[in-house]
């Protein structure tokens, strides 16, 4: 495992390398981010960003989504994959937001994961990006891979275990930014199949590289 000093250096270097790191999904309203994250499951953010302008134009309010015909929503989200489940979750989520939360995306983990189609990853993204809650830790495939390669976690691929482990060692004020940086680093450098270790800013701290 990494020492506190090594963890601090990893975070510092990532923030230095990706100073503008942010969520790569396009959104204006809190519920738009919530729905976009649902659409991004098993799909790229780039693809989601291509289809959401038309989706949000057709259904410009939360009320419009709540009253939407699921089959019509399916047509807009079809190219993101698993479109039936995604459309169903979006409509049901809009209805629950209006019925139980006054049309506002809630700001607690417990309330968020009770929404249709929302798991801890999505909840942490909302808590970090919308509510700026310190310690919010989004564990996606990039985070799982790179946290293991760096030795921040010990050989587990369980997202919840990784989230809890990272919460113990990451500076809470930088947890959300760290996760955004990891996504960009995973796309640009630390690829799953062929990591470009020679150009990695973290190679001197990486167990994968040294091993």
Query: Is the model's pLDDT at 1 over the cut of 90?
Result: no
Active-site residue 158, yes or no? no
Summary mean pLDDT of the chain: 96
Half-sphere exposure of 32 toward its Cβ, with a 13 Å CA cutoff? 19
Nearest to 77 by CA among 40, 112, 103, 113: 40
Nearest CA-CA partner of 77 in 30, 120, 43, 126:
43
Contacts of 108 (CB under 8 A, 6+ apart): none
14-27 average pLDDT score = 95
| Shared domain check, 155 and 113 | no
The encoded tokens of residue 9 equal: 């250096």
Residue finishing a domain among 129, 145, 160: 129
What is the per-residue pLDDT for 50? 98
156 shares a domain with 124: no
* pLDDT for residue 209: 76
The CA-atom distances, in angstroms, between 32 and each of 18, 59, 141 are 25, 11, 22
CATH number for the domain including 57? 1.10.340.30
Give me the number of domains the chain comprises.
2
> What is the predicted pLDDT for the residue at 79?
98
Tokens of 87: 């459309």
Catalytic annotation present for 121: yes
pLDDT for the residue numbered 208: 81
What's the pLDDT tens digit per position in 146-173?
999 999 999 899 999 999 999 999 999 9
* Owning domain of residue 192: 4-22+136-210
- The whole-number average pLDDT for the span 44-72 is 98
* For range 6-32, the mean pLDDT: 96
pLDDT in tens, 105-126: 999 999 999 999 999 999 999 9
pTM of the predicted protein model? 0.93
Q: Are residues 35 and 119 in the same domain?
A: yes
- HEC letters along 12-39: HHHHHHCCCCCCCCCCCCHHHHHHHHHH
User: Is the domain of 205 the same as that of 155?
Assistant: yes
Res. 211: pLDDT tops 60: no
Domain identity same for 141 and 202: yes
Annotated catalytic residue: which of 140, 157, 158, 161? 140
- The residue out of 87, 112, 129 marking a domain boundary is 129
Per-residue pLDDT reduced to its tens digit, 175-210: 999 999 999 999 999 999 999 999 999 999 998 875
Q: Are residues 34 and 122 in the same domain?
A: yes
Q: What number is the average pLDDT over the span 84-95?
A: 98
Q: Catalytic residue among 86, 89, 121, 129, which?
A: 121
- Between the alpha carbon of residue 48 and those of residues 53, 150, 155, 170, 175, the distances in Å are 9, 30, 31, 29, 24
């Amino acid at each position: 495992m990494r020492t506190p000093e090594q963890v601090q250096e990893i975070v510092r270097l990532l923030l230095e390398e990706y100073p503008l790191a942010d969520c790569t999904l396009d959104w204006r309203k809190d519920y738009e981010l919530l729905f976009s994250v649902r659409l991004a499951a098993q799909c790229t953010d780039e693809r989601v960003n291509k289809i959401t302008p038309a989706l949000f134009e057709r259904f410009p309010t939360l009320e419009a989504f709540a009253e939407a015909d699921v089959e019509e929503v399916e047509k807009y989200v079809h190219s993101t994959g698993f479109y039936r489940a995604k459309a169903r979750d979006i409509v049901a989520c809009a209805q629950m937001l209006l019925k139980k939360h006054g049309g506002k995306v809630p700001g607690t983990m417990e309330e968020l994961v009770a929404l249709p189609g929302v798991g801890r990853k999505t909840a942490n993204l909302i808590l970090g990006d919308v509510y700026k809650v310190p310690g919010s830790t989004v564990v996606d495939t990039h985070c799982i891979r790179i946290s293991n390669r760096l030795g921040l976690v010990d050989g587990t691929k369980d997202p919840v275990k990784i989230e809890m482990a990272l919460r113990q060692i990451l500076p809470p004020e930088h947890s959300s930014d760290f996760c955004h940086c990891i996504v960009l680093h995973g796309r640009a450098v630390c690829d799953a199949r062929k990591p470009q270790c020679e150009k990695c800013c973290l190679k001197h701290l990486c167990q994968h590289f040294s091993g």
